[in-house]
Structure 1
Amino acid sequence: MAMRVHICAVGRLRSGPERDLLDDYLSRFDKTGRALGLGPVKVHEVEDRKGGGMGAEAKLLEGVLPKGAVICTMDERGKVMSSPEFAQTLARRRDNGASDLAFVIGGADGIDPSLRGQADFSISFGQMVWPHMLVRVMLSEQLYRAASILSGSPYHRA
């Protein structure tokens, strides 16, 4: 059984270089991951038009999380892991029967503590703060890299 992957993010990624990179890596992940029981990836974008801050963003994000999904928040307080560790984390969640894995990317102020508290795990791309649009691109590249590692492709060089 395949584990579907969801990127649940605050903000709309308009056309441009970040969108092109995101689409490219997600398309590569879908192709490589299919044989591994990973994917497809669906991107869910939410926008808080009323300026309600993190609390309002958390409610919107909760609204797009698939029921019963394993939740991973992208958070500077999360675990920093190597690409092979990330690949093994995906494989372990898939092998444990997760049907949906949702990565949550907050807005400019991060992820509301109420939503952070619901996470099954949390990962960080380091202590630096990254724009949420770039985090999407970095996550999509790491998803593709993870699928490449799991498939034995030479894309990842340790």
Structure 2
Amino acid sequence: MLLHVIARGKIARSPEAELVARYEKRMTWPTKLTELPETGGRIPEPVEPHRTVLLDERGEPLASEAFARRLEKWRDEGIRETRFVLGAADGHSREERAAADLLYAFGPATWPHLLARAMLMEQLYRATSILAGHPYHRAG
């Protein structure tokens, strides 16, 4: 299953960009990163079948194991792409939230956009490590 991170805004050269690159390099599942401008720009058409996960402070704060099991379930159901969408500063619209398969939160706090992107990549790496039986999850 393709793990596709779609984010508003450019990460450029930053410590967060280094973290994103570090986890992307470690991933064994296919991964794609798409950056969109802060406003405008079109989210690419998904590969079918797919799931859409919006990172949203009002979302579900899944533990790493539960997050991994959700990805595993979707993969085993034949889902070919899971899209993780990080919105612009004003968040996601009501319509986008209603259409999503999962609203996912890193707790009730609001996180800086670039840090949330790095945290998402780490959680994707952690989830795929859990599913592969890799000891990374236990060491973290």
Fold similarity call, TM over 0.5: yes
Please give the secondary structure, in 1, of the residue aligned with 2:88: coil
What aligned pairs does 1:141-156 form with structure 2 within 5 A after superposition?
141-156=122-137
CA pair 76-65 structure 1, distance change in 2 beyond 3 A: farther
After the TM superposition, list the runs of 4 or more consecutive aligned residues in structure 1 that deviate by more than 3 angstroms.
none
CA pair 150-67 structure 1, distance change in 2 beyond 3 A: closer
Please give the secondary structure, in 2, of the residue aligned with 1:78: strand
How many pairs align? 138
Please give the secondary structure, in 1, of the residue aligned with 2:136: coil
- Matching residue within 10, 14, 20 for 1:12: 10
Letter in 1 for 2:37: E
Structure 2 Cα separation of the partners of residues 95 and 17 of structure 1: 35
CA deviation vs aligned residue, 1:99-142 (integer Å, no higher than 9, x gap) = 01000101111112221121011111011000111111000000
Please give the secondary structure, in 2, of the residue aligned with 1:25: helix
2:31 matches 1:41: yes
Letter in 1 for 2:44: V
Q: Which residue number in structure 1 is paired with residue 21 of structure 2?
A: 23
Q: Which residue number in structure 2 is paired with residue 35 of structure 1?
A: none
Letter in 2 for 1:19: A
Letter in 2 for 1:45: E
Q: CA RMSD, aligned part only?
A: 1.6
Deviation at 1:153, TM superposition (A): 1.2
Please give the secondary structure, in 2, of the residue aligned with 1:64: coil
CA pair 92-110 structure 1, distance change in 2 beyond 3 A: same
- Matching residue within 104, 107, 111 for 1:123: 104
Deviation at 1:48, TM superposition (A): 3.6
Structure 1 Cα separation of the partners of residues 31 and 24 of structure 2: 7
The answer to whether the 8 A contact 1:9-1:46 is kept is yes
Structure 2 Cα separation of the partners of residues 84 and 26 of structure 1: 20
- Matching residue within 69, 84, 94 for 1:103: 84
Deviation at 1:67, TM superposition (A): 4.3
Using structure 1 for the length normalisation, give the TM-score.
0.81
Structure 2 Cα separation of the partners of residues 84 and 124 of structure 1: 15
- Matching residue within 54, 62, 66 for 2:46: 66
Letter in 2 for 1:106: G
- Matching residue within 109, 118, 121 for 1:140: 121
The runs of 5 or more residues in structure 1 that have no matched partner are 32-38, 50-55
